[in-house]
Amino acid sequence: MKIGITNNQYPERRNIIVNPDNTYLNLKKHNLFYFLNPFRTRILQKNKTFVFLPLPLLARQQPDILHLFNEVAITRRKWLATFETELPRVLPVAGVAKHDNPELKRLIPHVLKDNCFGLIAISDATLNIQMKLFQHKPDIAKRMRAKTVVLHPPQKLFCQQKIPRSPGKLRLVFAGGEFYRKGGAEVVLAITQLLDEKKIDESQLEVQLIGDLTKRHNIAHRQYQDNEEFYRSIENRIQRYRCFKHQTRMDNAALMALFRHSDVGLLPTWQETYGFSVLEMQSSGCPVITSNVRALPEINPPGAGWCIGGALNDDREYSISSVTEKDHLRQALINALKRTLMDIIEDPTIAHKKGEGAITRIREQHCPLRYIHQLNDIYHRGVAEFVRHPPMISI
């Protein structure tokens, strides 16, 4: 089957470009908005539009269907979309409620048309946000829900069983490009507080920190960002304590090997749309301590890891409305990390059991072959409708 896509980056590779029997046609430069968006954002100072509007007569090969990620197609061809937050995806307009956004109102009819034969939410948390978006429009909500399925991304296994823990140090790993948003500071604070309190000794730990310390902006903190003194204190702690080994980045093969030989992963993230790194750690037999935002409780249940955190809003995210609120949540994450790490140090068999549980969970819940079959079922329904009602124009 020929599947039209509009990009071949990480989201598409994780969720769409998964079946070697399909042919994937990258139509990125056949999209009018590929050319219009730079003009809109740079010259007109308008928001980017997440739309695929095909240019006529450019595609030599015609796809059987279009499968987009986070985009709406304006076309008569059959299409479906996988999305991570909501669809249509629109950027905020100052002073306008999201459900009154004119771009949203313009795109909803295209999603409701019959040629949009499927919407794939990547988690229950995503579905929750999607339904919340249309809570003021029950009829639209009902029609959107009828088109939507929840399909968690696939994940191949990197090992069939948990590698036995070597005697000696507990090996911890944190991996997040945006070091501060992903909870790197809270990891450093929790571990150094345990060291300062003499509850553990540096000889008991090896902590690999993979992340960019220059990426300081934390979208979850909104206007209540941390200051230079805070960042400097975290970076000083990393340098001062010998148990930390920091790298800004690591190639994927080396990172997967690191996960396989680590006892526990760490991702007390402040904001996360899904948590693909959690799947990668779990598939390596490395159970993870995560926060409880968005999809993380779905993919990191008690049998496979540890889920910690504070109160969530209706979107299953943290709401930070003051410096005090940020500080309270930070301390809650730090305290929970400290308790969990002490439990593991006192009984290392916990990590091994959860590592085995993580592998089992990936095998049962994220099987690539099962995912391909599920996608094929959705595709074939679309193609069958395509044959009965072919479009009158090209893509």
CATH number at residue 208: 3.40.50.2000
- What total of structural domains would you count in the chain? 2
Is the residue at 91 inside a domain? yes
Write down the pLDDT at residue 86: 94
Global pTM exceeds 0.85: yes
Nearest Cα to Cα of residue 121 among 147, 98, 101: 147
Segments forming the whole domain that contains residue 320: 170-365
Write down the pLDDT at residue 59: 54
Q: 338 by DSSP, 3-state: which?
A: helix
Residue 349 and residue 264 share a domain: yes
Residue 208 and residue 149 share a domain: no
Taking the C-alpha atoms of residue 297 and residue 274, their distance in angstroms, rounded to an integer, is 10
Write down the pLDDT at residue 288: 98
Write down the pLDDT at residue 68: 97
Residue 247 and residue 205 share a domain: yes
Write down the pLDDT at residue 98: 85
Query: Which residues, 6 or more positions from 340, have their beta carbon under 8 angstroms from its beta carbon?
Result: 289, 306, 308
Residue 194 and residue 138 share a domain: no
Residue 184 and residue 140 share a domain: no
Is the residue at 159 inside a domain? no
Nearest Cα to Cα of residue 395 among 5, 16, 119: 5
Residue 229 and residue 179 share a domain: yes
Is the residue at 342 inside a domain? yes
Helix ranges, 30-123 (H): 32-38, 102-112
Residue 227 and residue 357 share a domain: yes
Give per-10-residue mean pLDDT for the chain (395 aa): 94 96 93 88 87 77 91 95 95 86 94 95 96 92 95 93 79 95 97 96 94 95 95 96 95 94 96 95 97 97 95 94 95 97 93 95 96 94 61 40
**pLDDT per position as a tens digit, 97-144:** 888 899 999 999 999 999 999 999 999 999 999 999 999 899 999 999
Write down the pLDDT at residue 127: 97
At which residue do the structure tokens 């990547």 appear?
Answer: 122
370 and 363 Cβ atoms separated by less than 8 Å: no
Phi, psi of 386 (to 5 degrees): -60, -40
Residue 265, judged by CB atoms within 10 A of its CB (0-12, 13-18, 19+), counts as: buried
